[in-house]
Structure 1
């Protein structure tokens, strides 16, 4: 009984540790399936009844990306209404430890980086079409046509594009720091120019709401509600100075 109980506890602890690992991101899994379908990359190197569905439906075509303008509108919409993370049917885990990141960093990683990648690919395809048109014109015309200057040729075997998580975290941290410095300054500047108690109260309430939303959106999920209430109360206490009008002393 002691030996069986020890084995059971060890298996239970291993299962608990594995269950705590995060799931792979849906966008990375989609990129992996596209790489496996690419004839110049994976070229369906994984086959078999059970192996081909390990990373999802390998032989099913992915949904086409909408136009860039619609992607831009979706990008702005996700900034206000974030999309819940999608969970796949695969039984996979990521080896990196789970990290709690703020909503702004999550938006940059899940929405802005894919949009930036699609824009880069669109520009690359346009340059490729232009160069092909120039070659066709030069082949059919006797007048030599000046070719546009091309950049250095990249490695043909490089079929994946990676984006550094450290760079994204550094950018979002810098943006959060600048926003935290500018918001009190802008609030003080606006309140110093506004006259009337009602206008001052409306502006104070608006800046307090904006500050609290910034705390929720630009800080990690580990920040408690008590800390949010404390920071918002301190911010409001700084701005409430502009509500009290100076006492006028009349000397006869």
Structure 2
């Protein structure tokens, strides 16, 4: 539907979005490593680190030779694997545009916890929607969906440049494209049952992100852009005021030409 390009939303509480950058780097490095591995090794990683609903809900058991991490850890590890550069690029672009301001609103550590919880919520809802599925779930979409929901609740009025229908760059208030995108995820969950896209993971991340941002944001950060917060880089200085009233200026006498 649309691709986010840029938002004009300066950081107010942190100097740099270290966690957002770190998450992007972790995903890119993981994809780079898996892309140069033999296909059999990549499949081992997908089954060992991906989230498998049938295994999580005890409908199936994973071959012990494929187990790489404890079963509970796959609620998070799946979010760092991607099937293609396009899959990776779309998720990281959303995280790049929207993640920095959500991190700014929460702080570094809480944002990291928020991101991982949204990933876990995405896996959980995916499992509830498809409890007997033996296909591994991979991708950061669930976590990124939580970031999008949080951004919408924090900054719905901020202008975001988006590429509409892959052709038209438009600056729109964030609530227009983001509400449409979120609505699409719920619609596709109900009606696109045969797709290889996990709409359930998206919806799980959205619901978790909308709930968690309320309790994990900084106390002085408002929801829905209700007030402006002065950036940390701006200093308030008291300017001394001279109590003596200024002397009235003498008006020049008029000049008469002739009599």
- Structure 1 length normalisation: TM-score? 0.25
Question: Higher relative CO (CA 8 A, sep ≥ 6), structure 1 or 2?
Answer: 2
| Greater C-alpha radius of gyration | 1
Kindly indicate which of the two structures has a greater share of residues assigned to strand.
Answer: 2
- Structure 2 length normalisation: TM-score? 0.24
